[in-house]
Structure formats: structure tokens, C-alpha cells
């Protein structure tokens, strides 16, 4: 059920391969921590290769002898990547654990690379690490076997530095869109699903509806233009506000200070879109009634997500052997693959 969502700048300018090895997809949380050197929490700066965040959290819990719920993190990171992120372990007492030198390696299947994770530094803190605490992620992506016009790629990347559609990445929907299929079946047949799968299905459903709204606005060119009744998103903050579309709003949009927003579906709250935007989104909701009704039944409330994202520090370098390295930062919750799909078919 995966969809090839419409692109803002037309088809990709080239073909290439992403994630030929985990080192080709590097992600670092941008999160500065000042340890209090006391409290009940050990914070661990972990680099991992070929492991997902949930797996590492479970292994940390086992090593610390605590329940899995005692280990927290700010964001999920890709498995097929080389990533660095913070984990937090609730360990009451006067002293935390010495995490120096902690590392685990597992060999892959025949012909595949090994996976591993290790603690690079750690400290004691009185504050718990909560989901969504970091502000951004820094990406360094290397694309291999690139086949396309170099000048055209450069022009496309220059355009993307001004902003791109903030699609939720395909990884949210599972292999071949399996999370959406499973969610539809669950909503239709009812019953209980494990807590972790429940979270995946609900998140996938909201993402699918959001992408459907964004796709319509990309197709008609309004994804980066203000419409009547818009809820505007402040850049990188997640805060939204409603305002009449005037010259000031258009100027702030042009400068990238604010963006139009789209729905993370749920029951309507006090503030919602109106006029043209409300009518537009209602059409999409009607097309996905099973997902919308299911999300309401499970108590989700309407939230908003920016339709546009502007990468920070976007830079690229053409490398030998038909390779291209692209580096940039995105706010948390935004997907590097949303940028990649706009300039290359990988």
C-alpha cells in the first residue's frame, strides 16, 4: 500500500543507491546536555550500527537490571544506519553505573555486515530524558552508483535548500505498507494488539492521512502558499496559530519563518482550521473514513504538523566513483528520505 507521493519539483534528476552500507546513512542527535552529576538518571551517548533504538534500549535495561520502561530516549533512529543518540536509565541511588567500555557486537548472517552498539560517554543527571527532547538531527548521507546530470542535481539541491514537502517517510508505514494494512484490519475487526504494535499502527494511520493531505497540496501547488483558514506552524517549534492571510503572513512564509500545517488526525479540539483549508481537508478525511473513525475511537486528538520543512546547512559534495555526499539538519520528526526522494531515485 505504499504510495509514490507527488514531488514538489517533478521527477528525480538521477538514480542512485542509498544505504549500500550503514555508514552511508549517518544520523546524530543535535542535543547539548549539561550534566548535574547527581540525581537518579544515567544518560548514555550511544553510537549504534545495524540496530534499532528499541533493541538497544532493551539491552541497556538488561545490563542495568531494570525494567524496559526504566530506559528512555528522545527519538527513534534507523536500524540500517550509523547513528548517535542519547539514552537514559533510571537508577536510583547515590551512584550510577560505570558504563565505560560497554559495547556489544553481533555477527550478521552469512555475507552480511555485523551490527554493534557502544556507549561513547555517559553522565549522571537529575532530569529524565523524555521523548522529543532533542531539537534536530544532523544527517550525512552518501549515495552510491549515482547516474544523472551533475549540473541538474546541483540545481535541484539548490532549490531544496529553500524548502521541501514535509512528508512522513515510508519507514513509518512498515515493509510494503504493512503497518497500514494491519491497522485497517485491526480497525475493521477489533480485538487487542500488543502495546508496541498499537503505537505503530496509530502512528502510521495519522501519517498516512497527513501525507494524503500534503500530496493534494503538492499537486495543486499550495503546500508552500497560505490558504484561507490556515493554521500556521512556527518554524522548528511545533506551535501553531491562526491568522488572516495578508502581506505580513505572505512575507513570513516567503522568509521561511512560518509554514502551512496539516493534520495529525484525531478528534477536533478548541482550535481548528476553517474556510478553504477545512473544506479541503474534509474531502481527504472522507476518503479515509475507516482510518479517521478508528483514530477517534482510540482517543487521539487532532494535532498539526508543518507541511513544509527547510533543511539547515544543506551542503553536498560529488565524490569519486559516482558517489554523492549530502549533509543537512532537520527538526526532530522530519525524515531525511523526504529530501532524498525530491532529487534522486534511490
Which of 110-124, 193-207, 217-231, 323-337 has the weakest average pLDDT? 110-124
Active site residue 78: yes
Determine the pLDDT at residue 130: 95
Determine the pLDDT at residue 191: 84
Cα gap 186→194, rounded to integer Å: 12
Q: Which residue has the cell 499502527?
A: 201
- How much is the mean pLDDT over the chain? 93
pLDDT above 60 for 109: no
Contact (CB, 8 A) for 263 and 306: no
Average pLDDT for 216-231: 95
Among 78, 188, 247, 276, the active-site one is 78
Determine the pLDDT at residue 158: 97
CA atoms within 13 A of residue 7's CA, in its CB half-sphere = 18
Determine the pLDDT at residue 108: 59
Q: What is the pLDDT of residues 14-44, one digit of tens each?
A: 999 999 999 999 999 998 888 888 899 999 9
Determine the pLDDT at residue 154: 96
Cα gap 160→343, rounded to integer Å: 8
How far from 178 is each of 52, 75, 168, 183, 211, CA to CA, in Å?
18, 22, 15, 8, 16
pLDDT above 60 for 306: yes
| Burial class of residue 83 in the structure, from the number of CB atoms within 10 Å of its CB (0-12 exposed, 13-18 middle, 19+ buried) | buried
Cα gap 233→229, rounded to integer Å: 13
pLDDT band at 274 (very low <50, low <70, confident <90, very high): very high
pLDDT above 90 for 288: yes
Contact (CB, 8 A) for 97 and 291: no
Q: What is the pLDDT of residues 169-210, one digit of tens each?
A: 998 998 888 999 999 999 998 888 888 889 999 999 999 999
Q: What is the pLDDT of residues 84-108, one digit of tens each?
A: 999 999 999 878 889 999 999 987 5
Q: Write out the three cell numbers for 277.
A: 483549508
Average pLDDT for 236-254: 91
Amino acid at each position: 500500500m505504499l504510495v509514490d507521493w507527488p514531488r514538489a519539483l517533478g521527477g528525480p534528476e538521477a538514480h542512485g543507491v542509498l544505504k549500500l552500507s550503514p555508514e552511508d546513512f549517518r544520523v546524530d542527535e543535535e542535543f547539548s546536555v549539561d550534566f548535574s552529576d547527581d540525581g537518579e538518571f544515567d544518560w548514555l551517548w550511544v553510537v549504534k550500527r545495524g540496530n534499532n533504538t528499541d533493541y538497544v534500549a532493551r539491552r541497556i535495561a538488561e545490563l542495568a537490571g531494570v525494567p524496559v520502561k526504566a530506559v528512555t530516549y528522545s527519538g527513534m533512529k534507523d536500524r540500517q544506519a550509523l547513528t548517535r543518540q542519547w539514552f537514559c536509565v533510571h537508577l536510583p541511588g547515590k551512584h550510577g553505573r560505570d558504563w565505560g567500555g560497554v559495547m556489544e557486537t553481533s555477527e550478521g548472517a552469512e555475507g552480511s555486515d555485523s551490527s554493534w552498539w557502544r556507549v561513547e560517554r555517559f553522565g549522571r543527571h537529575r532530569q529524565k530524558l523524555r521523548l522529543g527532547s532533542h531539537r534536530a538531527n544532523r544527517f550525512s548521507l552518501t549515495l552510491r552508483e549515482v547516474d544523472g546530470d551533475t549540473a541538474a542535481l546541483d540545481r535541484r539541491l539548490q532549490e531544496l535548500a529553500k524548502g521541501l514537502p514535509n512528508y512522513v517517510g515510508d519507514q513509518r508505514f512498515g515493509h510494503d505498507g504493512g503497518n497500514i494494512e494491519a491497522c485497517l484490519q485491526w480497525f475493521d475487526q477489533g480485538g487487542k494488539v500488543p502495546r508496541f504494535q498499537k503505537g505503530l499502527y496509530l502512528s502510521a494511520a495519522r501519517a498516512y492521512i497527513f501525507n494524503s493531505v500534503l500530496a493534494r497540496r503538492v499537486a495543486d501547488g499550495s503546500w508552500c502558499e497560505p490558504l484561507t483558514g490556515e493554521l500556521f506552524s512556527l518554524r522548528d517549534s511545533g506551535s501553531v496559530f491562526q491568522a488572516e492571510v495578508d502581506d505580513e503572513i505572505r512575507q513570513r512564509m516567503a522568509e521561511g519563518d512560518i509554514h502551512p500545517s496539516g493534520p495529525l488526525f484525531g478528534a477536533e479540539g478548541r482550535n481548528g482550521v476553517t474556510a478553504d483549508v477545512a473544506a479541503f481537508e474534509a474531502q481527504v478525511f472522507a476518503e479515509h473514513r475507516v482510518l479517521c473513525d478508528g483514530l477517534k475511537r482510540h482517543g487521539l486528538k487532532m494535532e498539526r504538523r508543518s507541511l513544509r520543512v527547510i533543511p539547515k546547512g544543506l551542503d553536498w559534495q560529488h565524490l569519486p566513483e559516482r558517489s554523492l555526499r549530502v549533509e543537512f539538519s532537520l527538526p526532530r520528526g522530519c525524515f531525511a528520505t523526504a529530501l532524498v526522494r525530491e532529487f534522486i531515485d534511490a
